[in-house]
């Protein structure tokens, strides 16, 4: 099963994608996580991506598409995957579709996790991330067992640079301009499913598994 997660930054795509990946035994692929790992390791790609990410802008399609296509070509993706944060532009979606069509494959579902802008800034300021393993927490809604420490790997948790309120507003604007058009794109392909992302995490997951079966 091949699944795309759509939704504003902070809507809960990553949280749900991890749960989907575990339940269905498929890899969770986050382009944001791939970029952050590259930044942490000081690679050329990381240095280029960081310039855009810090401003709340999208990393250019040329860079992003190649990384994603390489990743989904790996063996662990043969049985499907859940994409979190890709595609974020119409050209990205078109390149993915072309690559899949060439192999007689297709995306099964695009799941839009719908959360109004008013809720987003609050979610982001409370988000704490583990840059080592990619786990995400929320100070109020989804706290770690020990304050400031990742449940999964024991590393320290941080407020991401791009989760500061000034940058979040830029990211929301970029989302509405460049990413939201994908909702129509997948709706026309009849694979769009929308879930109410304001519910609590388990209820959102329940709504998603009702769709995926
Ligand atoms: P969030 O989960 O909060 O939406 P991500 O971790 O998905 O954030 O992405 C963080 C940043 O990484 C984005 O703001 C953008 O700069 C960059 N990025 C991630 N995925 C893509 C993509 N598919 N295209 C362009 N830029 C991306
Ligand atoms: P995205 O990947 O869409 O940017 P995340 O999954 O990282 O979003 O979630 C953003 C923040 O909101 C995180 O701090 C996360 O712990 C929290 N969160 C996720 N789902 C919910 C939910 N259903 N209710 C409240 N907070 C949530
Ligand atoms: Zn961790």
pLDDT in tens, 147-192: 999 999 999 999 998 999 889 999 999 999 999 999 999 999 999 9
Is there an atom of ligand 1 within 6 Å of 134 CB?
A: no
In the residue annotation, 188 being an active-site residue is answered as no
Pocket test for ligand 2, best of 11, 123, 126 (most atoms within 8 A of CB): 123
Given this model, what pLDDT does residue 5 score?
98
The rounded mean pLDDT for the chain is: 96
Is omega for the bond preceding 128 within 30 degrees of 0, making it cis? no
pLDDT over threshold 90, residue 101: yes
- Give the Å distance between the CA of 133 and the centre of ligand 3: 4
Given this model, what pLDDT does residue 52 score?
97
Whole-model pTM: value is: 0.96
φ, ψ at 192 (rounded to 5°): -80, 135
Residue nearest to atom 10 of ligand 2 (CA): 10
Given this model, what pLDDT does residue 109 score?
98
pLDDT over threshold 90, residue 122: no
Which of these is catalytic: 2, 36, 88, 123?
88
pLDDT over threshold 90, residue 116: yes
156 DSSP 8-state letter: B
User: Which tokens in the block code for residue 55?
Assistant: 């401003």
Dump pLDDT digits (tens) for 31-69.
999 999 999 999 999 999 999 999 999 999 999 999 999
88-102 residues labelled b (16+ CB within 10 A) or e (exposed): bbeebbebbbeeeee
Return the percent helix, strand and coil in the chain, to nearest 5. 50, 15, 35
Is there an atom of ligand 1 within 6 Å of 123 CB?
A: no
Q: What span, in angstroms and rounded, lies between the C-alpha atoms of 138 and 71? A: 28
Q: What span, in angstroms and rounded, lies between the C-alpha atoms of 145 and 126? A: 15
Given this model, what pLDDT does residue 29 score?
98
């Amino acid at each position: 099963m091949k699944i795309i997660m759509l939704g504003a930054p902070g809507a809960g795509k990553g949280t749900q994608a991890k749960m989907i990946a575990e339940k269905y035994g498929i890899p969770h692929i986050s382009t944001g996580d791939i970029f952050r790992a590259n930044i942490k390791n000081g690679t050329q790609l990381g240095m280029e991506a960081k310039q855009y990410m810090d401003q709340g802008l999208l990393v250019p399609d040329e860079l992003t598409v190649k990384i994603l296509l390489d990743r989904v070509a790996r063996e662990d993706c043969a049985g499907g995957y859940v994409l979190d944060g890709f595609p974020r532009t119409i050209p990205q979606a078109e390149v993915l579709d072309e690559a899949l069509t060439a192999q007689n494959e297709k995306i099964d579902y695009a799941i839009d996790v719908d959360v109004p802008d008013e809720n987003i800034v609050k979610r982001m300021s409370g988000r704490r991330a583990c840059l080592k393993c990619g786990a995400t927490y929320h100070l109020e809604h989804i706290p770690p067992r020990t304050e400031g420490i990742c449940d999964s790997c024991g590393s320290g948790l941080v407020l991401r640079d791009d989760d500061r309120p000034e940058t979040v507003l830029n990211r929301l604007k970029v989302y509405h301009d460049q990413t939201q058009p994908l909702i129509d794109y997948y709706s026309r392909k009849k694979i769009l499913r929308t879930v109410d992302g304001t519910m609590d995490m388990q209820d959102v997951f329940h709504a998603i598994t009702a769709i995926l079966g």
